[in-house]
Amino acid sequence: MIGHVDADCFYASAERVRYPSLRGIPVGVLGNQGACVIAKSYEMKAAGVKTGQPIWEAVKVCPHGVYVKRDFRWYEVLSRSMLDVVREFSPTVEYYSIDEMFFDATGVDPWSMQKTILTRVGVPVSIGVAASRTLAKLASDARKPFGCSVSAVGDFDELPVTEITGIALRSSIKLSAHDIRTVGDFRQADRQLVNRLLTKVGEGLWWELNGTPITPITISRPMHKRIARGGSVGRTTDDRDRLMGWVARNVERLVEAMFWHRYVTRKLSLWLSFKTGGWSGQTALISSTGASEMLLPAAKELFVIGWRGQPVTHMHIVADELQVIGSQQRSLFEPVKPELDELKRTVNEKLGRFTVRSAETLAINDIYGDEAYGYDICDVYGKSCF
């Protein structure tokens, strides 16, 4: 049997752990610009606030709600202690996302696990146990909030197919042309038909829904194809210094991530989003590297090529064709020794992230002064999803 743990409205619950006065009242968690509701408590959901809604609309719908900025560093602390509890119960645990884990449920009492997470971490979770991952996830979703159940094949036959993770709108349109609308329709459909419509991936879901596990629990994360760092640049800007500040910041975050995974790259891309349209460019590096001494100049060069004075809304820096340190091909050129990065790491480990950072980031000092920017969801390492 496979279990799936999923925290109930995780970000809102996490805020309630440190601010107990938020319990029982509508809580909305805002994105890093404080503009949009990215998560909400059940009370706020009941008031009609939608995820992604701008704050000025949300306060009209739910004026008595409390709105707080997201803080992924805190969410990671709670996420790791959730993981610790799950590992006490099961020897095989997959850290799927910041608030979801799959585990080998053989001999595990899920009710006891749920209670232990609540008392020790303070976060309510829903747990589903079933014969496959797909069924376990359906089970935990179906019984939210604070549900806990052991389910059998057929228990979710009434639900629409779109409730199945991996079946999005496009697939559901293909299926409905063959009168497949519910989980039950899908599970009882002809397997070969499912394969024709949704390829091998869809057939995998068919097996899983019929109780045959296809996707195992993965303890270690498969190697990334690429790593990207970036996102919104705060308020949209056409200030060259600010944008260069963001280039430097995103490269520093990328270097951190690559060091953590022991990766080097030979290909660097930059993605810029403007109010209308976007641009992306790629450059090949002279040797594989994870050092900011090589990555930062390359990223800046790309920026100069791609930016033509327009206001930028988002920026991403992507390291492609990753290799693990030591396995890369030798180059004619000596790779740069990342001395500067090592110095930054040594100091920052002791005194806090970004204590020593590129002088170019001084142009976006306001961002470093705002704690909500200190951490991003993709800075949480070791998850198997995303």
Binding positions for Mg ion, rule: CB under 5 A: 6-7, 10, 99
The amino acid occupying position 115 is: K
Q: How many residues does the chain have?
A: 386
Instruction: Report d(CA 266, CA 102) in Å as an integer.
Output: 34
What is the Cα gyration radius of the chain? 23
Q: What is the DSSP letter of 178?
A: T
| 15, 43, 94, 100: the active-site residue | 100
Taking the least distance from each CB to Mg ion, the nearer of 6 and 94 is 6
Backbone angles phi, psi at 369, to 5 degrees: -75, -20
- Closest approach, Cβ 145 to Mg ion, in A, equals 10
Backbone angles phi, psi at 182, to 5 degrees: -115, 170
- Closest approach, Cβ 136 to Mg ion, in A, equals 14
CA nearest neighbour of 14 among 86, 84, 78: 78
Containing 165, the helix (H) or strand (E) segment is none
CA angle 234, 236, 27 (to 5 degrees): 40
For 172-261, list the strands marked E by DSSP. 227-237
C-beta neighbour count of 161 within 10 angstroms = 22
- Closest approach, Cβ 39 to Mg ion, in A, equals 9
Residue 100 designated active-site: yes
- Closest approach, Cβ 50 to Mg ion, in A, equals 17
- Closest approach, Cβ 104 to Mg ion, in A, equals 20
Exposure letters 223-241 (e unless 16+ CB within 10 A, then b): eeeebbbbbbbbeebeeee
Structure tokens at 42: 């059940």
Enumerate the active-site residues.
Answer: 100
